[in-house]
Amino acid sequence: MKKLLILFVLLLSVVSGAEAKLKLDETVKAFFPKPAKLTGGEERWLGTGITEAKTANGFTYSTAYSYYSPDVQQIMNIRRKKTFDVKASVHAFNNYVSAFDKYEELSKKAPKGKVQEIGFGDRGVFYYVPKSSYINDADFTIVFINKIFVAEIHADDGFALMDAAANMNANIQRFILSNIEFFLVRNVSLSVTAKGFERSTDILGFTEEEPKEVTVTGKIFTEDMKPLAGAEVMILEAGKSVKTAEDGSYKYSMKMGGKKNVSIAKNFYLKELKQTKALPPSIEDGVFSVSTLTSDGKQEADTVWKLAFYGDTVHGKALMGEEGRQRLYPLKGTFENGRLSLSLDCRASGSSFKCSRNYEGTLSAGSVSGAWTGTGGGGTWKLKLNSYSEITDYIYLTADNSEFSRFVKQAGKTRTEKGALTVSANDEAVTGILFSLKKDRPEFNEVFIKSANLVLTHVSQQQSGSMRLFRYITADDNGKTTPVPPTMTYAGDAVMKTDTYEIEADITDYLFSSARSGVLISPLLQGTVSAGSHTFAGHNVKPAAYAPKLKTVRYVPADEADKIAPVTVRIKNLSGKDIVGNKNTVRPDGEADTVFEAVFRLPGKTITSMEIYGEGTVTRKRNTDPLDIYPVIAFIKNGIPMNDTSGGVKLLLEQTTEKFDLHISPIKEVPADKLRYRIVISGEVFEGVIEK
């Protein structure tokens, strides 16, 4: 273990200003769960020894587990094999860049474009390579990174993989939280990527020993000095990333709680990747509308398919039936060289009546089409590739679709009770927020939801102390709700603030798992050093935006996406009421205004600035910046201007959907439908072309 100590002495000089050495004698080995911790315990699991290997900037530790059961188990209608194996490795490095390079190397081994992100560590991926059409007959892999540690787990059973990976994730997270001073930022390591360009990295140093806030800014360019919009800038120490704006600029701030702010600037110039060969035709994971004709020309009711592609293998579900009586049926098959082959099992649950269909189709521009055979005869079918779009939307949680309560752990015993949505921790008890969804509600239909985050709003009242909050998935054990420790992930900090803020927790895995009973948001349940109490907003609050909600990425019909996008701006009247003029304050000037309708679907967020502009030989602008000479944009609601006296705005979006009329003095050099907008809402930038 001397090698391991040497590694972390090196690490100490790179990432920490702490004076005392960190003792790690058996720490990395302790990241691997003992067989007794895995489902089935020592009676079913056998663990091997842990091997150690030196690498360029660290060490790799590996072990393996074997499982045997005399019985065939069944979980969620999936039959498991009697024996299976798990192989696990932890790569420990003395710097963040080497760790991230290793993570990138391992995650790129997944079938191209067939990777699912998971909420382990700072970031992680899951993928599997099927051996047959049977869902659990595959090689499964999870790779995740947390600070300087990269975990790599392989298994030939999906449930065993999750069991081992969740334990490793929890062990690594606990170690980092217990030694947080060791991982204080003393450098900022950046990794920059953009589609079609080579990745670039750099380590930026600073000398301030107790920074209050570290802010990194800069721009991303191509080699020929053109700005790159949409490039991803990864801040490795924080495990977070930001996208560049239209001019290639980026900005990220890390709050450190010290005494002095630190600012660092860095520009990157990315090299273009050379394409060596044409890419094969492909279809991305998603939701699609499918129309079917029988051989006699009869049109069947349209169905909706949700498909996921893993290498050449395809799995999915078909939503079939009349409105209000729809049911899900499994799909499986292959996609090779532009040819899609699928089989549909359309048997009703519990029925002995055999029902199946086979679909064969070829990919072309905008669709897959071909012939089908099976129950019902045969005919033709067509899948529309761009029939559904992804949008970000909110589902408000009410007594109709969810249940909230308090979870209390005291003197080693747990109980649930009604009351305010409060988290607290002290010497006697830990209290968390427990919630569950009524998953049979139509708004939770798994076909149309890609991901979901629980959002709890912290208002500036009833708060004391500061504590780190974690998300646990819960299960029912003999009628009692019990948190499942391996599902613990960090959710955010509850801190003393005068401003309202939000805590988000990813609950996608809970939403799609019928075996889990709920989600718990709580301070650390064991060994917590946090102390204090914080109350979050519940159901009956004003404004409604503070009520608990799910922030979802949903699939909606493409022709409806613009109606429910987070921000839309449309032309309303080219010659409207005179409210503003050519000044940067809200005053009429005797000339009719150009009027737009702006619709916002970002409840709880705050509009802080907006710009409308047209580009030509001279750029003409209208905005809400009181310090600019440009004419103002007036935000009008119910006929009343919402700008302050200097023309600026700070507007809380209180409802699920909010509309404003936007008045500007006309930009005569550019047609109104050629104008663009740029709006900042709670620090996030939204840009687009104004619609007709």
Q: What is the pLDDT of residues 150-162, one digit of tens each?
A: 999 998 877 788 8
> What does DSSP assign to residue 33?
P
For residue 15, what pLDDT is reported? 39
| CA-closest candidate to residue 102, choices 152, 175, 141, 139 | 152
Which pLDDT band, with edges at 50, 70 and 90, does 192 fall under? very high
* Both tokens assigned to 21: 């050495």
Work out the percent of the chain whose per-residue pLDDT is above 70. Answer: 88
Rounded mean pLDDT, 188-217: 84
Q: According to the per-residue pLDDT averaged within each range, which of 134-148, 361-375, 525-539, 665-679 is highest?
A: 361-375
Written as six digits, the tokens of 581 are 């003029």
pLDDT at 256: 67
pLDDT band at residue 2 under the 50/70/90 scheme: very low
Banded model confidence at residue 407, pLDDT cuts 50, 70, 90: very high
In this structure, the strands spanning 449-458 and 421-425 are unpaired
CA distance 451 to 222: 33
Average pLDDT over residues 465-469: 85
Give the model's confidence band at 595: pLDDT under 50 very low, under 70 low, under 90 confident, else very high: very high
DSSP label of 17: -
Say whether pLDDT at 134 is over 60: no
Whether the predicted pLDDT of 75 surpasses 60: no
- Phi first, then psi: what are they for 611, rounded to 5°? -140, 135
Task: Note the pLDDT of residue 304.
Answer: 93
Map 482-550 to HEC letters: EECHHHCEEEEEECCCCCCEEEEEECHHHHCCCCCCEEEEEECCCCCCCEEEEEECCCCCCCHHHCCEE
Place of tokens 């549909």: 344
> How sure is the predictor about 628, in pLDDT bands with cuts at 50, 70 and 90?
confident
What values do phi and psi take at 354, rounded to 5?
A: -80, 130
**What secondary structure letter does DSSP report for 462?**
S
pLDDT at 276: 60
Pick the range with the lowest mean pLDDT from 21-35, 88-102, 675-689.
21-35
Could you tell me the pLDDT band of residue 368, with boundaries at 50, 70 and 90? Answer: very high
| Whole-angstrom distance, CA of residue 454 vs CA of residue 460 | 20
411 backbone φψ class: left, alpha, beta (φ>0; ψ -120 to 50): left
| Gap between the Cα atoms of 378 and 381, Å rounded | 10
User: What is the distance in angstroms between the CA of the first residue and the CA of the last residue of the chain?
Assistant: 68
List 637's β-bridge partners, or say none: 640
- pLDDT, average across residues 445-467: 88
pLDDT at 77: 45
Closest Cα partner for 267 from 226, 218, 229, 203? 218
pLDDT at 605: 86
181 Cβ partners below 8 Å, 6+ apart? 16, 18
Nearest to 679 by CA among 636, 622, 640: 622
Q: Is 155 exposed, middle or buried (0-12, 13-18, 19+ CB in 10 A)?
A: buried
Q: What is the pLDDT of residue 69?
A: 67
Q: Check whether 22 has a pLDDT greater than 70.
A: no
Residue with tokens 């998603």: 286
> Rounded mean pLDDT of 92-98?
84
Q: How far is CA 363 from CA 339, 367, 372, 374, in A?
A: 6, 6, 15, 22
Over residues 170-181, the mean pLDDT reads: 80
Q: How far apart are CA 347 and CA 320, in angstroms?
A: 12
How many angstroms from the chain centroid is the CA of residue 679? 22
Q: Cite the DSSP H helix spans in 548-604.
A: 558-561
Q: Mind listing the domains of the chain with CATH numbers?
A: 2-183 (3.40.1000.20), 187-270 (2.60.40), 286-386 (2.40.128.120), 392-557 (2.60.120), 566-689 (no CATH)
Beta-carbon contacts of residue 108 (< 8 Å; ≥ 6 apart): none
> What does the pLDDT read at residue 5?
41
Which has more pLDDT, 249 or 615?
249
Cα–Cα dist 79/76, whole Å: 8
Q: Are 321 and 304 in contact (CB under 8 A)?
A: no
C-beta separation of 221 from 228 below 8 A? yes
For the chain, the average pLDDT equals 83
Give residue 527's pLDDT: 64
Q: What's the pLDDT score for residue 257?
A: 63
Q: How far apart are CA 392 and CA 686, in angstroms?
A: 13
Per-residue confidence at 8, pLDDT binned at 50, 70, 90?
very low
Q: What average pLDDT does this structure show over 365-376?
A: 90
Tokens in use for 33?
Answer: 């769960």
Instruction: Flag whether pLDDT at 348 surpasses 70.
Output: yes
pLDDT score at 189? 84
Q: How far apart are CA 643 and CA 651, in angstroms?
A: 9
Whether the per-residue pLDDT at 416 is higher than 70: the answer is yes
